[in-house]
Structure formats: C-alpha cells, structure tokens
A and B are shown apart, each in its own frame.
Chain A
Amino acid sequence: MDETPSFDAPEAFGAPESTDPFTPQARHLVVVSGGLGDPSSSRQLADRLAAAAADALSAEGIVPEVHVVELRLLATDIAEAMVNPSRSEALQAALDEVEQADGIIAVSPTFKASYSGLFKSFWDLVEDGVIRDVPVLLGATGGTPRHSLMIDTAMRPLFSYLRTKVLSSGIFAASDDWGEVEGGQASTRTTPLQTRIAAAGADLASVVARLAARPRRASGAPKPLEVTPFDQLLRGE
C-alpha cells in the first residue's frame, strides 16, 4: 500500500496552513556563512556545500530551495540586536529562514581557535529549541590544516546545545586545500576538498530527504503562538 506522506502543519494557534503548497516535495536548505571578506573563502565553501547537497537532493527527486544568509551583511543589525530587543527586517528574515529550515549548512572562518564572534552572535539570537532535530552540516575555513579540529572543539558543542542533528562529517578547508584536485600530488595523502564536499553534501541530503518537510509560514508572518489551556497550567502541567 502506498503511504502518502502528510505535510499538514501541527494544530496550533495561528499555525501555517501547509507547507509550500506548490512544491510539497521541496526541502529548504539554509546556508549561514560567517565569512567577513568579499570575496570570502567561507562563503565559497558554503556555496559549494550547498550545491553538493542540492545536487544530491535533486538526484532523489526532491526540489532543493537554497537560502543564503551572509552574516557580514547583517553585522551591524546583529550587534544592535544584542543590546536591544528589536530586530531589523533583514535580520528577522534571516532568523525566520533558519527557524524554518529543513537542513542547515553553517560555515565560519577560524578566529583565535574558534568561530568568529559574529558567527556566535548570530546563533545567540536563535531561540532555544526552534531548530531542534534539524540536520546541520558544519564547515570551517582557516589558514592552515592545523586549525581543522575547530569544527569539533568549538562548532559541534554549539550545535549540540541547539539540539540539532549535527552530521558527523564536517568540512574544513585550509588555504592549501583550494589548490588540491583529484589526481594531484600523492605525497599530500589527503582526500581533495571537492571530493570531501561532494560526500558531505550527499550526507546532508540523505538525512534531509528522509525527514518530513517542516511547516512554513508566509514570509514575514510571525511565529504562531501555542496555547496551553489554562486549566492545564493551573494543574501544573
């Protein structure tokens, strides 16, 4: 018997009516790049990871919708949001995309043995619990491969705290890696960057494809409020 997947949103006050009605088979990938330059190698890595994941999703018959959040363009808004509860429209739109993502690709440059302060500040603005169980692929860039454990020592705990499904594969791109190709010098003995990117993209796609699409709301619409009936609150539930 054919099981038709249900894309209905959960019952909640002001809940969105359905997932994207035109393409219910779509999955929304949100790419958050913490690169500070333009051009930026973090953005470059993020784009390549997104392309790899999108290709793998397409191969499974799923329509990938990719949204890129470039934090350098939001730097002032993020700083202002730290000291004031108001959010600029651009920042709120970015946070809304992240909250509704079916999969997240998060990439930061390595600064002083960790992610950049801007990258951390952005995730500080994401409310606890809103991206619980969302698959996350981590990526980082740095000057030399000696920083490559940053993904595991700094980024992974952050995304564990956010209760996301952090994929075991994380992609670190040192400056040298951009010069490496399949069939390059055997003496380097590392897997070329593009090969690692393709594998990680496929890894993310395989998890995203197996999860139901998350409910989406009309763009700009605030998050629905969920109500616990008051007699339950009174009983301490």
Chain B
Amino acid sequence: MILLAFFSSGVEAGQITLSIDDISSPAFHAKAISATLDGPDFSRLEARIGELSLRERTWRKVRLTCVKTQWNNGEIRCDQGELDLGEKLPVRFVYQQQSKTLALTLDFPQGETWQLGAQWGKPGWKVRVEARNGQVMRLAGFLPQGGIRPTAGTWSGSISLDGSRTELGSVIADAVFKDIAFADASGLHAGEKIGGGVRCDVSRRKDGWLWRGEVDWKSGEVFWQPVYFADGGHRFVGQGSLEAGLLRVNQGNLRLAGVGEAQLSGAWDMAGRGLTDFDLKAAGLDLTGLYKVLIKPFLEKTAFAKLKSKGEADLAWRYRDGVTTEFDLSLRAAEFIDEDQRFALHGMNARIPWSNTEERQAEFGFQSGEVLHLALGKTRVPLTMKGWQFSTSDFSIPLLDGRINVDGFTASRIDGVWQWHFSGGLAPVSMERFSEALKLPLMHGTLSGIIPVVSYAGGNLKVDGALLFKVFDGTVVVKDLSLLEPFGRVPRLSATLDMRNLDLDLLTSAFSFGNMQGRIDVAVAGLELSSWRPVKFDAKVASSPGNYPKKISQKAVQSISSLGGAGAAAAIQRSFLSFFEQFGYDRIGLSCVLRNGVCLMDGVEPAPHGYVIVKGGGIPAISVIGYNREVSWDELLERLKRVTQKNVKPVIQ
C-alpha cells in the first residue's frame, strides 16, 4: 500500500529529524514529508507535507505543529496542536504505535467537529470519519469536477471504510443532513434547505459490490430539470449490486409525498448506456400529485400542459435493453380539466395492459366531458393493441343531444411518428343546443353530417372525400380539407366549402341582421386559414335557383348596406322607402376575393360606379348597390359584428 521512495533520518543534539520523499496509496499521495522533534523531552513536534493529494483535492505546504507532545509507552499524544491547511485549525490526536491506530480531531468554530480514526497494519486498514455539524462544502473538493457541488449545509454522522493492502473492502455511512444546498454549473440541477438522512452499507464481493441504502428526504426543495419538488417527505430504501460498471437495484421502494409509493428494480450502465432495465409497480397513485410533479413538466409544449387532474392510477412498467416491453396502466375515477377550458373529461376509467409483442385488449371510458364547451356524454371505447398499433371497433360519443359515431379508428406509431385515421358521422344535434353551448346567437334546425376518412400523419390532418353537414335546412359540403400542424403554433387549414339552399329566414333570425326570406348558396373556394384566421379565399353568396318567396326587411337592407359603408344606409333611411317594412327582391349576390387582408367585392351585376348586391323585384322593390370594391377584411368583420349585434336598432328618420 505504501511506497517509500526515499527515507532518511537524523539525530542531532536535542533534535530528531525524519524525512520521506514520497508516499502513495490508492487513496492518497503525499510528497516531501518531514517531521522534526525538539524541545524538552522532544515535546515539540513539527510535521510538514509539501503536497498532499486526497482524491481530486490537493493541499500544499501542509503543516502540523504540537508544542506539547507526550510520549508514553508507545503512545504519542497531542492535546493542543495546530493544523495548517491554508486555514489554521486546532487539532488533537493520539497515535498508538503498537496497534497502529490514529485518532485525530479537528475543532472548527461554532461547534463544528471532524474526527478521523484510522488503524492500519495486518491484515488491513480501517478509517472512520465522524462529523458533528460538519460543513458539507469541505467535501466539495473530493467530488468529481463538473458535477453537482454542495454550496451550504451541515452533516452529522459517520463514514467508515476498511480494506486490505490493495483494495477497498467496505463503506458504511450513517449521516443526517441539515440545510443542504447544492447546484451544478448550469443551475438546472439544484436543491436548497434540504434536511434528511442517508444510511448505506457497501461491501465488496467476489466480482463487485453489494449495497443497501436508505435516503430520507424530509424537507427542502429541489429542481432537477424539468422536475421541481417543492418540499420533502420522500423516501427511498433499496438494495442491489455494482459490478462490471452496472449499478443494479434488486429491490427498491420509493415513496414520493403527494404522489404515492412504488416498488422498483433496474440496472444503470455507468459506462454511458444509461438505464438498461427497469421494473416499476405502483398502486393507488394520486393523479393530482403525479400529474403536477412528474407528468406536467414533460408536456409543456402540448395541449395537456395546463390540466387540473384528480383520481387514482396503478402502473406497472417493464423496460428491457433500453425499450419499454410492457406497461399496464389503470385509471380510476379520474378527472382531467383543461385550465384554458378547451376540454374536460370526468369519471374516467381505463385499463391499458400494453405489450410490445402480444396483442392485448384495453378499454377506457368516461362518464361525461366537454370539448370547446360542447358537452360529451358517457362513452366507452374498447381498444385492441398490438405493439404500437391500436384499433377500436365502432363506438359513439354522445354530443349534446346527438352523437358522433366513430367507425374503424386505427392509430400506429412508426419510427416514433404517430399516424391515425377514422371515419364516422354526426347524428343530428339541435342547432339550439349547439348555438347555446358555443354562446352563439340562437339558431334553429339540426346539425348532422357524414365524416369521411380523416387521417393524421407527419403532423398534418387530412380529410379524404367530403364532409357533409345539414344546417339551416340546407347542406354544407366541406371538401379538400387539410390541416397542417394542427397542434403547432401556427395551424394552417385549407378547404373548399359549398353550401346549398340555406334558409335565409332561419339564418337571419339567428343573428340580429334583419329578416330575410329566400334561399342562398354560399361557395368558398381556396379557403386558407392561418392561426384560424382567413388569409385567402374566393367567396360568393348568391340566391339559390328555384321558386320561393323572396322578402327582405328594411333592417336587413340597412345591414347589407352598412357592409358597404355608412353612406348607402343613411340614404335609404332618409328616403320614402323607410315607410315600408318589407321589400321584394329578385336576386341577392355578393362576392369577396380575399387577398393580403383586402376583400375585393362584387355583386349580382354591375351598377354605375358600383355593383348590385340586392336586385329589386315585386312591389315594393328595392335594390341595394355597393360602391366600395375594396374593403379591408378586418374592417368588414367589424362592420359585420356591428350589424349583427342584438342591440343595434334601425334608425328611421
């Protein structure tokens, strides 16, 4: 263990000098060592070490002095010495020559004491470090560079090591901590005011080490990017081994305050592969704490980043050679509510026993829920899973007083990217309920439709075929619908809309637009929305072909006129036409080609300096002419908002 490179000694009158060039061992290295004894009965000791290295830490010009050294039957005792490690510290020690034992005590201010007990010789050596209120920062120098560094706090307890001439045999530690703070250089792994205790017992076996340990984290906060623990109350007890660079937990129990308790085992490859095997079993986990502490930080960029959650979960997870091979998740009476009120699920139950090789059946369902304020009813979804391929048989979700039918939903994950598709339909939902839920003006009729194949791949959602809805006694067909990055920061939608035979009476009575009777067709070609706002489209509203009553109220005339600017409406209000409540018309037509935020408008036919929006017919008849061909889209929306607000009343002068 010890290599003496050079040894010399000398005795002069009243002085003994000893010098050693170099001592090295697996644990420490010392250079230029000298010791001098002089004074009465050789009671004055001065020992110097030119350079002392212990693990990563090095001290230079270390000096130990003792003015009153006692020599007695092979015992050297110093009750009042001084150790200079750059900082001068009071030191006491006793050395027993025969048993080769050293007991050394360092007394720091404010009741801080460190004791070192060492014994060496045959068959091996023992070292015990004890501390009372020991500043953990003194240990910083012994830790590897670039990792976590203690920055404050104290510890009390002991660390015992023993070994043979060539190797370490065991380490036993039992310590309590108080107000510990630590951080790495980036500050992304840090803790403050941590109190608790650590006990561990590590012993060498033939091919490696066996360990048993217990960590009791009683108080203090820790941020371990991206997870934050606001307080303690957590505990880990485990045992395992360390061999061939593989740290194993054979049996572990982890208790996280506010979350629950888990049994775990696993292996960590310290050579760089990281976690290779892992098994976890947990029952009765509190979903509130589980989501808040462990799940939410990983969902920051998703739609599930701001949830209120409740309920219980059981989880079994098996991970082998860097791959999840099985998990079994159960949710009981769970509740997830989006804080931005986009969706909510209540009374959710699920059993998802997944395997990466075998086909398994899963099931999940909820008692009620809502999406964008539309109420969802009790739903149950049976699911067949085979690895990362999922499929459901047909199921339906009650929506308001109707239901969404989902046929043949399948999803798969290929090379880490999700894709899914389904088809289905919307069974009639009353427009009254629909408009009420969305806080829209009360509309009448029903909403129903067919949903052709909807597919999602590579972050884009596409609808093959035509979505068909029935509203306002007419039909709405949505074609070529695609959504790029629907869950990204800038969702982009493109589609073509074709609405036929919409009942104007139903439509205008929903908004405070003024009553109109008749039917219209609306065609929106090349619609492009970006962040759900229109960027481009070619829209055209025109009277539907066919015979039907065509009437337009004075208020509706004013509303339409207002869309073209205030001037036209005022002119009508002041004319004799204000005596009539209703007018006949022949055709209605208005088109808008939206480009670069400007709507290029046109009507049924040209008119001097403008275009005809409502072409009169019958008695009394009225024609409405638009003069502004280019209107800012934002301005147009503002005008539309003004004329459809309920509190706007026609002004008859």
Report whether chain A binds chain B.
no
Residues of B within 8 A of A (CB): none
Residues of A within 8 A of B (CB): none
